[in-house]
Amino acid sequence: MLELGKPGTAGTPTGVAPVLRDGVVVAALAASNWKDSATARIGDREWVFSRHKGELTGRRAAEPEGSARVRARKVSSWKGTWTVELEGTRVEVESGSVWKGTHRFLSGGRQVAVSGSSGGWSPRPTLDAEPAIPLDHQVFLLWLELVIRRRNTAAMTAVTAGAVAGGS
């Protein structure tokens, strides 16, 4: 299982979160707090994750801007579903638990991964994926989970603020 660690821990610089598997750092993720973008270092490979024309995309840093090896597109805002392409493998993302904010990742109707959350006051996303899914793709899915959670939190904050302002 992958877990997004606290930024600046496990030997990562400030602002960079370690990606842990059983407590061992397997990647590092520097995610922007303001935009849907990040860079990931996975072994000797550097990836660039960003939002491009309404899709979340991922490419190797050395590849031209605008290219994408992996991509995610929101299918339904109401249902919270996404479609992901992982270098030719299609994965559907659907809500696992509305209350816990988790997701199920399905390929060909079969669950290949599930998201979760670390405990504590500042829970961080986790991803439990089949070993057959390459680590680079798992890190993209973990980043996607982070983006979805941030968007949901922002939406809930806006709704709450509107309700408070409207009720005053």
| Residues 6 or more apart in contact with residue 2 via CB below 8 angstroms | 19, 20, 21, 26, 126, 127, 128, 129, 138, 139, 142
Give the whole-angstrom CA distance, residue 147 versus residue 140: 10
* Residue 119 pLDDT > 90: no
Specify the pLDDT at position 46. 98
Each residue's pLDDT tens digit, 66-84: 999 999 999 998 888 999 9
Specify the pLDDT at position 75. 96
Give the whole-angstrom CA distance, residue 88 versus residue 77: 24
Domains contained in the chain, number: 1
Mean of the per-residue pLDDT values for the chain? 91
Mean pLDDT of 85-114: 93
Mean pLDDT of 137-150: 95
Specify the pLDDT at position 157. 65
- Three-state DSSP state, 125: strand
* Residue 33 pLDDT > 80: yes
* Residue 162 pLDDT > 80: no
Specify the pLDDT at position 94. 95
pTM of the predicted model as reported, rounded to 2 decimal places: 0.90
* Residue 41 β-bridge partners: 28, 46
Categorize the per-residue pLDDT at 163 as very low, low, confident or very high, splitting at 50, 70 and 90.
low
* Residue 168 pLDDT > 80: no
Specify the pLDDT at position 80. 84
Mean pLDDT of 35-50: 97
Structural domain for 14, as ranges: 2-167
Sort residue 23 into left (φ over 0), alpha (ψ -120 to 50) or beta: left
